Amino acid sequence: MSERPWDRPRFRNWLAVARLHAIWEVRLGAALSPHGIKLAQFDILANLMHEPGITQQHLAKRLFIGRSNLSMALPELERMDWLRREGDPEDKRIRRLFLTPQGEAKAELGLAEQLRLLNEMMTVLSNEECNQLGESARRMADHLKKMPDNR
């Protein structure tokens, strides 16, 4: 009988990463919910907190949600008074995104929940293991980005 994919370390370890990501999304979503924040909203807020004035196009490239979800989410976040869009003074076609004070407060609440959950999750790793995990993930992501699409 030939070796099955889940008998291979690379496949087995990738499944562990995928499971971790799925569990993380559920846990973070549950932690954000009491604050009235959805996971996709937090992704936007955190990115705007990290890089105020980012363009909508640049934000779409950084997010873990699709462009259509972003197109629907931005007007909703504006109605909630969590973000505002401003025209770029040098190029009127460009709209820059900024958090409002209410949006910044929500982003800070969400970030506190994310850090709390992250710190708790990482207690099972030493600092060295944590650094190795991050370095390995960055190397794989960089390699995956460089791979041709038809491969």
pLDDT band for position 5 (50/70/90)?
confident
Which residue range(s) make up the domain with 114? 5-146
Q: Which pair of structure tokens corresponds to residue 76?
A: 């909703």
Residue-level pLDDT at 151: 53
- Angle at which helices 39-50 and 101-122 pack, to 10 degrees? 100
Whole-model pTM: value is 0.86
Distance of CA 118 to the CA centre of its chain: 13
- Given the structure tokens 């909703």, which residue do they identify? 76
State how many domains the chain has.
1
In a domain, 9, yes or no: yes
Which CATH number fits the domain that encloses residue 54? 1.10.10.10
> What pLDDT, on a 0 to 100 scale, did the predictor assign at position 150?
62
pLDDT in tens, 56-112: 889 988 886 667 778 889 999 999 999 999 998 999 889 999 999 999 999 999 999
Residues 107-141: tens digit of each pLDDT = 999 999 999 999 999 999 999 999 999 999 999 99
In a domain, 151, yes or no: no
Q: How far apart are the first and last CA of the chain?
A: 28
* Residue 106: how many other CB atoms lie within 10 Å: 24
